[in-house]
Amino acid sequence: MNKIYLDNQATTPLDPAVLDAMMPYLTHKFGNAASRSHAFGWEAEEAVDIAREQVANLISATPQEIIFTSGATESINLALKGSAKTESIKKHIITFKTEHKAVLDICEFLENSGFEVTYLPVNSDGLIDLDKLKLAIREDTFLVSVLHANNEIGVIQPIAEIGEICKNNNLIFHIDAAQSVGKIPIDVEKMNIHLLSFSAHKIYGPKGCGALYLRRKNPRIELTAIIHGGGHEKGFRSGTLAVHNIVGLGKACEISRELMDDESIQISLLRDKLLNGLKSEIPNLRINGSMDNRLAGNLNVCFPSTKSDSIMMSMRDIALSSGSACTSASIQPSHVLKALGLNKEQSHASIRFGIGRFNTETEIEYTIEKVVKTVNRFRKVAV
């Protein structure tokens, strides 16, 4: 058995069709999309326009509402800091304790800049309590930021319901869709989303590229740029466009839109096979997060009386993780699992399995066998 990759929440392999689409723009179609005086620039500009439309189609937006960035983290910075800089009166933001560090760290920055942030708890299954959200809204609240699908536990939040609450209270609604775009349907109009951030490398596209959806009407959302110099992307994000990466993002969005329904079914079957196989041999395992509202490819499991790091180090042929790639160097328990009520020992005994487009049934069968054998071996040693 070759190495098995089961860490698709951290990043995904580049789809071969995406690479094929990118290659011309890494070789002979090398023009600058801002060069308006010759065919090389026109060619690059046309490719960017096509990609912008492909991205917009995936989330039911218009191409004019798509801003290309270096990835979800930059998009989130532009969305939150840009909104805050534009807001002159209201100074209150609402978010949640299970957000990605990209949001939490920006909120901490904004707190140090004179804003007030409410970090709401979640239920033990990871889902948001909508009544608590309603109670947290104040006269000076101007923005709510929510992680659509959690990167550690895969729990999907009720975005349409939250969007309706924001609409009724005239609040800007931002969602971090890094894990959800291309995996589950998103309609920015029907869900009342104003700002949406995501990355290409989570949907089998290239690293170093992402996008921000910025609503243009009903209502029009105003942002202040945080990167200056040249006025690219309608003045919101200056810098020469990485045409090859943008083409790759566009193609990845197009493929995800075409495959989404069938792929979700296929990946769900693999995840359920993995879960059932583990439960049959390790009956006291604990599933972290709701199984009813969850991404198809995510399974986060606690194996009591073990340590996840030891298990993963003993299975070097299987790529797994204990949480977010952005915090993998930390020895602190996962803030997401802590928010669900897990103690330190339970958190350090939890492993995230991330199943993706290119995983096979044979790989899942091998993983079940290897995990069961490894967990039982460590438990015998612990006894």
For 78-108, write each residue's pLDDT tens digit: 999 999 999 989 999 999 999 999 999 999 9
Query: Does 174 lie in the same domain as 319?
Result: no
Cα(353)–Cα(6) distance, rounded to whole angstroms?
6
SS3 of residue 50 by DSSP: helix
Q: What is the pLDDT of residue 332?
A: 82
Q: What is the pLDDT of residue 325?
A: 59
SS3 of residue 293 by DSSP: coil
Query: Does 373 lie in the same domain as 310?
Result: yes
Query: Does 139 lie in the same domain as 88?
Result: yes
Query: Does 369 lie in the same domain as 277?
Result: yes
Cα(280)–Cα(309) distance, rounded to whole angstroms?
23
Q: What CATH number did the domain enclosing 346 receive?
A: 3.90.1150.10
- Which residues of the chain have a pLDDT value below 50? none
**Chosen domain end from 197, 221, 254:** 254
Query: Does 242 lie in the same domain as 332?
Result: no
Q: What is the pLDDT of residue 379?
A: 81
Cα(131)–Cα(86) distance, rounded to whole angstroms?
29
How many distinct structural domains can be found in the chain? Answer: 2
Cα(69)–Cα(210) distance, rounded to whole angstroms?
5
Cα(354)–Cα(346) distance, rounded to whole angstroms?
19
Selecting among 107, 166, 302, 326, the annotated active-site residue is 326
Q: Which one, of 375, 304, 292, 290, lies nearest residue 336 by Cα?
A: 290
Query: Does 295 lie in the same domain as 148?
Result: no
Range of the domain at 248: 16-254
Query: Does 148 lie in the same domain as 267?
Result: no
Q: What CATH number did the domain enclosing 43 receive?
A: 3.40.640.10
Query: Does 243 lie in the same domain as 182?
Result: yes
Determine whether 166 is an active site residue.
no
- What are the pLDDT digits (tens) for 291-330? 999 999 999 999 999 999 999 999 999 999 987 655 555 5
**Chosen domain end from 215, 238, 254:** 254
**Chosen domain end from 254, 276, 296:** 254
Query: Does 245 lie in the same domain as 174?
Result: yes
Q: What is the pLDDT of residue 381?
A: 66
Q: What is the pLDDT of residue 328?
A: 52
